[in-house]
Amino acid sequence: MGPLKGFRVIEMAGIGPGPFCGMLLSDLGAQVLRVERHGASADVYDPLQRNRLRLTLDLKDPKQVAVLLDIVEHADALFEGYRPGVAERLGFGPDDCLSRNAKLVYGRMTGWGQDGPLASSAGHDINYIALSGALHAIGRCGERPVPPLNLVGDFGGGGMLLAFGMVCALLERERSGQGQVVDAAMVDGSIALMAMFLGMQARGLNCNQVGGHFLSGAAHYYDTYQTKDGKFMAVGPLEPQFYAELIAKAGLDPNVFGGRGFMSPEDDPRCWAELKPLLAEQFMTRTRDEWCAVFAGSDACVSPVLTLEEAADDPHNQARQAFVKVAGVTQNAPAPRFSRTPAAHPALATADPTAVNALLSQWGCSREQLAKVAALSAQRAVTADIAS
């Protein structure tokens, strides 16, 4: 099931953006074989590892790398997240793989990209989004930039960019009959996510001061406010008609707050600092649930700030089935949704040798190639017995 049904993908196991890419592809129907290093352990309940069959290979052993290359012959795509040059040194770089399968799409997930002064340097999400300009835009006015978890670099600008790039390359292959290398760098993806702000900056809007942009929380009409019970509401009525509804529903003085919304000609950033504490004071007069009742069914663009546990129980998310249970564990449902080729319900990852053998047989691996994989599985089983 899913729009990617039938595509065969090899995932060289890593952390963060790589597994996220594998989750996206496998959620939408691709058959993803996750190749893990010798001795690696996996959390089968982790959503980032779901839907995959797992095969353990010692990538420092040329004979086991040869097994990987045998499988590459039958795959549509492979992706890895090593520093530039590592896959080449181990013997399964782009040239090695494309020489065995000219139609292969080879995805490369890095922070800095395959070239440039920082290409071989270590880094994490916070470093990549710092260099992209994204981190500087996130934070409170007068305070230091705040890391937005690792959503911008690892996931939005990383794993999702890689998945998009690989699907694009697979589509192009249908026309050309040729594979290619996809260089997905988290710094590139983070810069791409800043496209709207680059445009705003070109038009003279303030995008260079930490916390100075209206979307960063500087404006009173786009921020979070604490409620009487210590919880929070998110406020974001940018359009004049939505802003007017906020004023009416919240019981605010229209002579003070009127005409100050983002898309109103009367909006004046110099008033934001004056109006924000007044709005904060108003939200402190009721609990979060009481405010939810006030704004229920309105277009004021006001929502409760939910925890992950609360989000899973939210009526809208439940109606959309946005969360699913996998072996009793709450996980995110596959997204996006498709009318004709819906995604299947997620399944636990497994390293069952029989299932791996069946998958590789379906891919077209020869008896000799399957025998090599089976021999490795048997060898590991004997080693495990001896160790126990």
Annotated catalytic residues are 124, 154
- Sequential DSSP letters for 369-387: HHHHHHHHHHHHHHHHHHH
Task: List C-alpha distances in Å: 54 to 11, 178, 348, 350.
Answer: 9, 27, 11, 6
Residue with tokens 């594979």: 179
d(CA 179, CA 184): 16
d(CA 373, CA 260): 67
Identify the three-state secondary structure at position 108. Answer: strand
Question: What tokens does 362 get?
Answer: 């379906």
354-385 burial by CB neighbour count: b if 16+ within 10 A, else e? eebbebbeebebeeebbebbeebbeebeeeee
d(CA 77, CA 174): 13
Task: Tell me the residue type at 349.
Answer: A
Task: Tell me the residue type at 158.
Answer: G
d(CA 117, CA 115): 7
Question: What tokens does 324 get?
Answer: 């699913």
| Nearest by Cα to 128 from 76, 51, 79, 119 | 119
Question: What tokens does 265 get?
Answer: 């000609």
| Nearest by Cα to 123 from 84, 89, 80 | 84
